[in-house]
C-alpha cells in the first residue's frame, strides 16, 4: 500500500479566524511527498478545506489524515439515523452543522439538540458558561451508562492520552473539532471520490483519522516552538516513509467495532512510526 503524497491536518474548532501571524491555535497542514516536505498555515476551516480539495485534485495516490475522531461510540449512529453506519451519521451532521467562511458556527446548538433528543444531560458537554444552551452542560455531569452510551470509543480506551469525543471545550478536547470536521470530510469525499477509512477500504485517495500525539517524544525533541506545526510535519514524514517501504498495511488493521466507531491510523504502532522517522 503506497501513496505518492501524505497530508496530515491539525484541525481547529475556533469560532473566528486564526491570527494572520502563524499561531499554534490554527489549522496546520503537513505535506510530504518524494523529494519535498512542507507545512501550510490555514486561518479558517473553509480555507483549509479548499486547500486540501485542490491538492487531491492534482491526482496520484494520496493519504489525508485529520486529527479528530471520525466516529462516535457504538449506538449513537442508530439512535440519530436509524442505522449503525458512521457514513450515514456523517451525512446527518453535514446537514445540520453550519460553519461560515469566518469560522462562526453552530456546533454548540447542534450538540445541545442531540443531548435533548437523547434525553440528556449529555452525552456532549463543555458549553461556554457565558453562553448557556439548554441541554448542554458546561461541565461533565453525564451518566453515560444511564444514557446507554460509552464515554470512550474502543480506540480511545486503547490510546490512554486520547480524549473522548463528547468534550467540546478544554485542553486537549476534540469534540468541537469532530463536529466541525466530519462535515468537511463528508463533502471532500463526495467531491473527490476519496474513501473514508476504516468505514471504507483504503483506496487511491484515502481520508483517515490520525493522532499526532503518537509522536509526542519526537515533537518535543524537534524543538519547534509551535508543536502543532511539528506534529503534522513529523507524522506526514513517518507515514510517507512507511508508504515508500510498503509497510503501511499493519496500521490499517482494525477490530470489527472500527466499522462503526472509527479508528486512529497507527494506534498501537507508535514505535513503528517513530522508527520510520529515522528512515528519511
Residue 20 has pLDDT above 90, yes or no: no
**Nearest-10 Cα torsion for 192, 245, 28, 227:** 160
Q: Do residues 212 and 67 touch, judged by C-beta distance below 8 A?
A: yes
Q: Any idea what the Cα angle at residue 51 is, between residues 8 and 68, rounded to 5°?
A: 40
Going by C-beta distance under 8 Å and a sequence separation of 6 or more, which residues neighbour residue 220?
none
Q: Which residues pair with 105 in a beta bridge?
A: 99
pLDDT number for residue 248: 96
Q: What is the pLDDT of residue 22?
A: 83
How much is the pLDDT for 25?
78
Return the sign of the alpha-carbon dihedral for residues 125, 131, 135, 138: positive
pLDDT at position 265: 98
Closest C-alpha among 10, 4, 11 to residue 215: 10
* Average pLDDT of the chain to the nearest whole number: 95
pLDDT tens-place string over residues 159-205: 988 999 999 998 889 999 999 999 999 999 999 999 999 999 999 99
Average pLDDT over residues 140-169: 94
Predicted pLDDT at 197: 98
Instruction: Indicate whether 280 pLDDT > 70.
Output: no
Rounded distance, CA 249 to CA 83, Å? 29
Residues 6+ apart with CB under 8 A from 77: 83, 84, 85, 86, 88, 89, 260
Checking if the pLDDT of 35 tops 90, the result is: no
Q: Which fold has domain 5-69+178-277?
A: Nucleotidyltransferase; domain 5 (3.30.420)
* Band of residue 47 on the pLDDT scale cut at 50, 70, 90: very high
pLDDT of 21 strictly over 90? no
pLDDT at 129: 83
The sheet that has 205-209: what strands, in order across it? 36-42, 27-33, 5-10, 62-66, 205-209, 195-196
Q: How many CA atoms lie within 13 A of 123 on its CB side?
A: 23
The mean per-residue pLDDT over the stretch 77-97 comes to 97
Taking each continuous run of H as one helix and of E as one strand, the counts in the chain are: 11, 6
Mean pLDDT on 117-146: 91
Q: Would you call 260 exposed, middle or buried from its count of C-beta atoms within 10 A (0-12, 13-18, 19+)?
A: buried
> What is the DSSP code (8-state) at residue 238?
H
Average of pLDDT values for 67-75? 97
Distance CA 182, CA 201 (A): 18
- Mean pLDDT in residue range 16-45: 92
pLDDT at 4 over 70: yes
> What is the average pLDDT across 228-257?
96
Asked whether residue 100 carries a pLDDT value surpassing 90, the answer given is yes
Of 21-30, 102-111, 175-184, the poorest mean pLDDT is in 21-30
pLDDT at residue 88, rounded to an integer: 98
- Ranges of each domain in the chain: 5-69+178-277
Are 150 and 73 in contact, with CB atoms under 8 Å apart? yes
3-state secondary structure of 27: strand
Give the separation between CA 115 and CA 105, rounded to whole angstroms. 18
Q: What is the mean pLDDT of residues 48-76?
A: 97
What is the number of other CB atoms lying within 10 angstroms of the CB of residue 272? Answer: 16
DSSP codes of every residue in 39-67 = EEEESSHHHHHHHHHHHHTT-S-EEEEES
What's the pLDDT score for residue 193? Answer: 97
Amino acid at each position: 500500500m503506497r501513496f505518492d503524497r501524505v497530508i496530515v491536518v491539525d484541525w481547529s474548532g475556533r469560532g473566528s479566524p486564526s491570527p494572520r501571524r502563524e499561531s499554534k491555535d490554527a489549522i496546520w497542514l503537513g505535506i510530504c511527498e518524494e523529494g519535498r516536505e512542507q507545512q501550510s498555515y490555514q486561518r479558517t476551516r473553509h480555507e483549509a478545506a479548499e486547500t486540501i480539495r485542490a491538492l487531491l485534485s492534482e491526482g496520484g495516490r494520496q493519504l489525508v489524515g485529520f486529527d479528530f475522531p471520525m466516529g462516535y461510540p457504538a449506538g449513537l449512529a442508530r439512535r440519530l439515523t436509524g442505522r449503525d453506519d458512521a457514513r450515514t451519521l456523517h451525512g446527518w451532521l453535514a446537514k445540520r452543522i453550519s460553519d461560515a467562511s469566518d469560522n462562526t458556527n453552530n456546533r454548540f446548538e447542534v450538540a445541545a439538540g442531540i443531548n435533548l433528543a437523547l434525553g440528556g444531560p449529555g452525552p456532549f458537554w463543555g458549553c461556554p458558561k457565558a453562553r448557556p444552551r439548554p441541554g448542554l452542560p458546561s461541565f461533565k455531569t453525564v451518566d453515560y451508562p444511564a444514557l446507554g452510551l460509552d464515554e470512550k470509543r474502543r480506540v480511545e480506551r486503547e490510546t490512554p492520552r486520547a480524549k473522548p469525543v463528547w468534550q467540546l471545550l478544554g485542553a486537549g478536547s476534540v469534540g468541537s473539532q469532530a463536529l466541525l470536521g466530519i462535515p468537511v470530510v463528508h463533502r471532500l469525499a463526495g467531491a473527490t471520490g476519496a474513501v473514508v477509512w476504516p468505514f471504507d477500504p483504503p483506496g487511491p485517495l484515502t481520508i483517515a483519522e490520525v493522532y499526532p500525539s503518537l509522536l509526542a517524544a519526537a515533537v518535543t525533541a524537534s524543538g519547534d516552538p509551535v508543536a502543532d506545526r511539528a506534529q503534522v510535519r513529523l507524522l506526514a514524514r513517518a507515514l510517507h516513509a512507511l508508504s515508500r517501504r510498503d509497510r503501511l498495511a499493519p496500521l490499517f488493521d482494525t477490530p470489527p467495532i472500527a466499522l462503526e466507531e472509527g479508528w486512529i491510523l497507527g494506534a498501537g504502532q507508535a514505535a513503528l512510526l517513530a522508527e520510520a522517522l529515522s528512515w528519511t
